[in-house]
Structure 1
Amino acid sequence: MRVSIIGGSSVTDTVRETAAATGRIVAQRGHTVVCGGLGGVMESACRGAKAAGGETIGILPTDRRADANEYVDTPIATGLGHGRNALVVMNGDAVIAIDGAGGTLSEIGLSLVYDRPIAGLGTHEVDGIEACETPEETVKYVETES
């Protein structure tokens, strides 16, 4: 299964470690991390996944694959800016939202449009998101609902 992990590009140390733990658990369970390929939650989730031997895909807003964070195995350059958010969501079977601002909120909305199960951890409170307390809970939820 592919799990899209979405969240803020500017994060606290706590959020950074939460995202890394989430990516690690996703990989340990045999799933692939899909993200926006840049920093913050995206980089941390990929770092965690790589530490567990997992695979990562970064769907970039820019037209340069070299812009991907160092933990992305497969960078996909789009040149679409925030328009790439739909591709991040569509390329996952489920979504885990961690923290985030407006860009994350747009991805949450697209997740609902594309009928992806969404687990949230310290993110926006929106109908349709399963609020979770731990990275383990988020992964268990998306596995159950996908």
Structure 2
Amino acid sequence: MRVSVIGGSGVGAETYERAVEVGRLLGERGHTVVCGGLTGVMEAVCKGASGTGAETIGILPGEDRDAANEWVVTPIATGLGHARNSLVVCNGDAVVAIDGAAGTLSELGLALAFHRPIAGLGTHEIDLEGFEAVGTPIEAVEHVERTVEER
């Protein structure tokens, strides 16, 4: 399964480590990580997944594939800026949101529009069908696995 992981580009140490753990868990369970390919949560989730040998895909806002963080296996340059957020969520079967600001909020809205199940870990609270707030990285991974399997 492909899991899009979205979140803040500038995060503190605790959030960074939570994102590393999400990436590690996804990788250990054989999933591919899709993200925006840059810093913060995107970097951390790729770092965690890469330690397991998992595929990581970074869908970048700019035209330079070399702008991806060092743990992105497959960088995809788009030249679309924030409009690339649609591609990030559309290319996952489910979404894990960690932290985040306006860009993450836009991705959450797109994920709901694309009917992707979402696990929210310390991110925006959304009271809409399809969004589930969770408390730990393992709860986030188990939620998206279970929800996709049930579909």
Query: Would you say same fold, with TM above 0.5?
Result: yes
Q: Counterpart of 1:141 in structure 2: which amino acid?
A: H
Counterpart of 1:137 (choices 133, 136, 139) is 139
Match of 2:51 in 1: 51
Per-residue Cα deviation, 1:47-94 (whole angstroms, up to 9, x for no partner): 000012211000000011000000000000000000000000000000
Q: Matches of 2:52 and 2:124 in 1, distance apart?
A: 28
> What amino acid is the match of 1:2?
R
Shift of the alpha carbon at 1:125?
Answer: 0.2
| Separation of aligned partners in 1, 2:76 and 2:55 | 14
What is the letter of the counterpart of residue 130 of structure 1? E
Percentage of pairs with the same residue: 64
Q: Equivalent residue for 1:23?
A: 23
Partners in 1 of 2:61 and 2:145 — Cα distance?
Answer: 27
Alpha-carbon distance, 1:15 to partner: 0.4
Of 108-117 and 120-129, the range deviating more from structure 2: 120-129
Query: How big is the shift at 1:24?
Result: 0.4
Letter in 2 for 1:140: E
* Partner AA of 1:48 in structure 2: G
Superposition map of 1:53-72 within 5 A: 53-72=53-72
- State the partner residue of 2:111: 111
- Which amino acid letter does the alignment assign opposite residue 40 of structure 1? G
Alignment gaps of 5+ in structure 1: none
- 2:79 aligns with 79
Superposition RMSD in Å:
0.5
- The runs of at least 4 consecutive aligned structure 1 residues that moved more than 2 Å come to none
Separation of aligned partners in 1, 2:147 and 2:76 = 27
Task: Return the TM-score normalized by structure 2.
Answer: 0.96
**Superposed displacement of residue 127, structure 1:** 2.0
Gaps spanning 5+ residues in structure 2: where? Answer: none
Partners of 1:50 and 1:73 in 2: CA distance? 8
What pairs up with 1:26-45 in 2 under 5 angstroms? 26-45=26-45
**Distance across 2 between alignment mates of 1:79 and 1:53:** 28
Give distance in 1, aligned partners of 2:48 and 2:127.
28
Distance 2:51 2:13 in 1: 18
Q: Secondary structure at the match of 1:95?
A: strand
For 2:75 and 2:137, the matched residues in 1 are separated by 24
